[in-house]
Structures are given as C-alpha cells and as structure tokens.
Amino acid sequence: MCGIFACHRHPDVQKFKPTALRMGKAVRHRGPDWSGNVIANNTILVHERLSIVGIGDTGAQPIVNDEGTVSLAVNGEIYNHRVLRKHLQKPYNFKTHSDCEVIIPLYLEHDIDAPKHLDGMFSWVLHDKVQDRIVAARDPIGITTFYMGRSSETPGAVYFASELKCLHPVCDDIMSFPPGHVYDSNTDKITRYYVPKWLMQPETTPDTPLNYKLLRETLETSVRKRLMAEVPYGVLLSGGLDSSLVASIAQRETLRLNEEARKQIANGNGVSQQNGLVGIDDDNQLSTVQLFPVLNSFSIGLKDAPDTAAAEEAAQFLGTRHHSFTFTIEDGLNALSDVIFHLETFDVTTIRASTPMFLLSRKIKAMGVKMVLSGEGSDEIFGGYLYFHAAPDRDALHQETVRRVKNLHLADCLRANKSTAAWGVEARVPFLDKKFLDIAMNIDPKEKMITKERIEKYILRKAFDTSEEPDTKPYLPDKILWRQKEQFSDGVGYGWIDALRDNAELHVSDEDMKKPKPQWGDDVPDTKEAYWYRCMFDEHFPSSCASTVMRWTPTWSKQTDPSGRAISYHQKKYEHAE
C-alpha cells in the first residue's frame, strides 16, 4: 500500500505546499520507502511509497510523463499492467517498471474511461496540466481506502487522501470516495464506471447454473495474479475456510513456480536462488524471476484460541513456514486507541477484529514481509455469516449478499487495508477479483442457501473438495474444509470479546449511556462497548469525520451484538452432512 494526498485548484498552492507535505507525512506508515511530490498549475500531488513492484528508484511517484503534462499518484496494484502496455494504441515511453505508470497512457487514450480497463486494487489521482484537470478513481469494490474533501476556507478546491487523518485538518466536508467511481474536475461530478448487472440490479435474481470447476479455476487464477511481487510475501492464515483456501492455492502456485525456477537454474539461465521475485509476463501469466524457497503463513490469537490450532493444522498440511503468534488481552486493550486512530472507525465489529490483525501486521513487518494475501470478501459473496441461516428465500439472500459486497469498503476491506497499512504491509484479497465476483455473484443464489444438508459456503467448500478426484491432491484436510464459520474477532479467542465488554463497563457508566454527546445526532451507540469506541474516535477525529463510518449489524436477526457467538446457529462443532 501507498499513501496519497492531493489538492486541486488551491488559491495559493506554493504557500500550501508545507501543509500538503505534512498531510502526506500523516500517512507515511502506508508508504515508508520513499516520498515524492509534484506541483503543476495550482495542483499538488503528494505520495508516500511502499515498493512492491518496480522496487528500484524508477518506481518513485508521483509519475510524470515525458512532456511534463500529466502527473499521477497511485495507491494499489494493477495486475494486468503488462497486458495493457502491450495493447496500447499509441507508443508511450515508459519511464518506470512500475505497474501503475500504465494509467497515464490509458488516460491519454481513453480519458475518463481509463479505470474500466484496470484489473487490480487502486486509488489514484491524475492531473492533466494542459486542461488543468483532475481525474480520480477507486477500484470497483474499494479494497484500497480513499477519501475526498472540501473546505469552506478554499471553496474552489478539492482534496483527496488515502486516510481521513490527512483531510480533517484541512477539510470540513469529507466523504468516503465511492468504489467503482471516477471523479472529473471538468464536470465536478463523480460517476460510476463499474456497472455489473448483479450490482446495479440486485432485485433481479441471477439464475446462472453452478459450475464448480469454473468457480475453482477462477479463484486459482485470482490468487495467481496477486502473487505479483518483487518482495517476500506471505498469507494470513486464520484456520478458517477462506484464508486456508487462499493459502492452499498460493502454496501450490509457489511450489510450481519454484519447480520452474529450479529447471531454469539447472539449464544455466542465471535465475537467482535468493529471496523470490514473481512477475507477470506479457500474456498476464506469472513468470518466475527468482526462486522463493518457502511460503510464509501467519496467525495470531490468545492462548489456546480456536483459530490458532486450526491454522497450525492447515499450515502443517500445506507445508508453509508457519508463524503462530499469541497476544494477551492486555496487549489488545493497550492497542485500542492506536487501532481506532489507524482504522478511522468506531464500528464494534471492525475494531474487535482489527486489533489482533493490527498486532499481527506489526510482527509481519518486523520479519521483512511487505505483502500478504488475505481472505476478505468470501462471507459477503457466498452468504457465509451465520445470520444467513435465517435468509427467507433466494431473492432475499442475493440482495443481502449484494448489499454486503457493496459496503465492504466500509467494513472488512477497510479493516484489512488499514490494519496492515498501519505497519507498511500490503494486503491483497483474491476473493474480490472482478472476474471471480462476476462468476460467484451470478450463480443462482438457491445454491448459496443454508439448509440442514448444507453448511454455510457449501458451494465454495464443494468446489475445492477433491474426494471424488483420486488423481488430485487435496487442497485442505476435511476438518478445515468443512469447519464452521468463526468471525475473526471470535476465532482469536472468545476471551477477547468478553474482555472488551468488561472493560467498556469500567469506562462507561449507566449515566453516560443516558447522555450521549450532542454532536452524535441520531447515531447514538446502543451498547457501552460502542459508546467507549465512539469516545476514543472523537479523541482523534472531529465530528465531521463520523459520516464516513458505517456500523455493522446483521439482517434477519434481533440480536444487536455482531459476534458470531451471539447468533443462535453458532455451535462449537458442526457435523457436515453429505
């Protein structure tokens, strides 16, 4: 991940430059490798870089074209950049090996439609000096965080940043930039460019027949694309279905790439045996550049946490180099204020789950790993949360999955992005690949319904069940493949949530609950834990930032506590019925 700050049409951009650099510095944790800035006309772009692809000096940002007419600041990864370079209509002199530079010639050829051609996760701000125009865009689902702001003190200016902490000191009107949209300063409008039917017409229930083979192969391709890196990488492995599948596919691909590398080394073609670098070739396939000897996997939990044992079992089966960390309740409680500062939210579910992830990311960064794969998105796509047991019919289930995917940028994507970026680690999420989404979200939702015979996410589990394929090595042991859903905040140890509730009782009185702060308006916390988090949020951010926060609540349930344990369908053991 990287960090962006930009301001377009500031009345005195040179005078504003020191402030802009200070705002960029506020997200240096996202990009600790290098800093850069560009001023053109009355616009300034500031970039804090985390180098994953194009790690040499040539990848520094903002990137400026040869003519000096277009400048670009990007946060994210463009997985199809080699293919895009190959099929440009006009010659373009690339100055870097970065995957992001291709956005400039795409803009020159396709104008505001440039984001439609990108396959990846991204937030970017591009300035056209000739037109004095800003074009800004965010990836289809909002995997990367991105905000837009305005100030009553500079009414003609518009601001952009990767995190709220860059904007609230200079803006009094801030919004979360909507995923799948592009902003054009020529019209001062934000328009949607990502328009799949399943997202735009959720009331139209899809009826595409289920194809297990296609589902499996598309996810495998998605993971393969996300191994594009020039730094050591790893996988977050909780021991649940989603992270374990991602780890399994990544391990298979790493072993395959290593075998190819060994053959190249044996043939004397000069491939290095040092830490591995994996690239994308001109046909959008992974190509081995160096040998990466082992895939690292990481988990965290309280002592004897449910996820820890499952993660270790999965890692042993897969053969990853596993790193199992523990944290104490005191560690978590001590980190809460920092977690809320980095997350920029007061949502209970997000804070509960992010704290262990925040602590784990610090350990990962200390080990020299800068990129990890993670399993976010699967529960939203397949109706994997336990409250989906109560879905009344296929139409309702489909509409709820669409709603959840649409709001991922305010929930799990925000958690994964900011928990890792706090320590300069990038999280990639294969389940939110555009092609995989189109396949999975267009499956007839009757296949996703949970029944007595079908555990949640049955079709995903079945797609990777090789019990009837004697010549195929199992992806996971059955105990993991058919393990019941645990929310991350539960799986790290049930004592974690209990401790949060108990400590909230110590910090928030009954009298406090009767006297919510006037600036909260109608968004009043309904539990002491929620009240406690909102107070900590207010210590870091002004009330103008609260509108960017969404509080997670389950549908079809009167239960207000979002913990999976609070759902009546939760069991410690769930016997899979064939």
Residues in binding site for ATP: 236, 300, 374-375
Cα 282 to chain center, whole Å? 26
Q: Please, are residues 210 and 443 in contact by the beta-carbon 8 Å criterion? A: yes
Complete DSSP assignment for 194-227: ---HHHH-TTS---BPP-HHHHHHHHHHHHHHTT
Q: Please, are residues 142 and 413 in contact by the beta-carbon 8 Å criterion? A: yes
| DSSP at 321 | E
Binding residues for L-glutamine: 99
Q: Please, are residues 251 and 318 in contact by the beta-carbon 8 Å criterion? A: yes
Strand ranges (DSSP E) for 62-220? 63-64, 70-78, 120-128, 133-138, 147-151, 154-161, 173-176, 181-184, 189-192
Farthest CA pair distance, the chain: 75
Cα–Cα distance, 166 to 168 (Å, whole number): 6
Instruction: Tell whether the torsion through CA atoms of 78, 80, 82 and 84 is positive or negative.
Output: negative
Binding residues: 99, 236, 300, 374-375
Name the residue among 504, 240, 212, 225 with its Cα closest to residue 385.
240
State the pairing for strand pair 189-192/181-184. antiparallel
As annotated, the active-site residues are: 2
Q: Which two tokens stand for residue 460?
A: 């995903």
**Helices and strands counted in the chain (H then E):** 20, 19
Cα–Cα distance, 77 to 54 (Å, whole number): 11
The neighbour count for residue 97, using CB atoms within 10 Å, is 15
Cα–Cα distance, 387 to 569 (Å, whole number): 8
Q: Which two tokens stand for residue 260?
A: 């190819």
